[in-house]
Amino acid sequence: MLPVTLATSGSLRSSRTDFQAAFAWLTPANVATRNEMERRALMSWLAAFILALVGVALLHVWLRLKVSDLGYHLSATRQVIEKLEAEGHELDVEVARLEAPEYLDAVARQRLGMVRHDRTQEAVLR
């Protein structure tokens, strides 16, 4: 009885491949063609898988770049919105100042030369 390691030694495997290579001319042509076709089919499936993997990787990179670009646009838009809100608040304050009765009275006296009327200048219309 042979030990297990001896039965599966590398020298036996290499002699088997040598034997197959030496008598390859004995194998029928259709068997060799079938093996070649299977190898080509496997290679084409492998190429298709690698191509799909590269496509997915490119799509992932493109999406990440698009997300970054949209993030920059969103940040710029937020800054514009904050600036416009501050400007709107300043304009509201300016409108309130210009509509104040004290300001209108001062403008009427200084620019237009108007004065307050006396009670004697009032006329009642009926």
At 61-113, the pLDDT tens digits run 999 999 999 999 999 999 999 999 999 999 999 999 999 999 999 999 999 89
Give the end-to-end CA distance of the chain in Å, rounded to a whole number: 140
CB 97 within 8 A of CB 103: yes
> What's the whole-number mean pLDDT along residues 42-51?
97
From residue 111, give the alpha-carbon distance in Å to each of 33, 61, 97, 102, 105: 107, 67, 17, 14, 10
pLDDT tier for residue 1 given thresholds of 50, 70 and 90: very low
Tell me how many helices (H) and strands (E) the chain has: 4, 0
pTM to 2 decimal places: 0.49
What gap in Å lies between CA 75 and CA 80, rounded to an integer?
Answer: 9
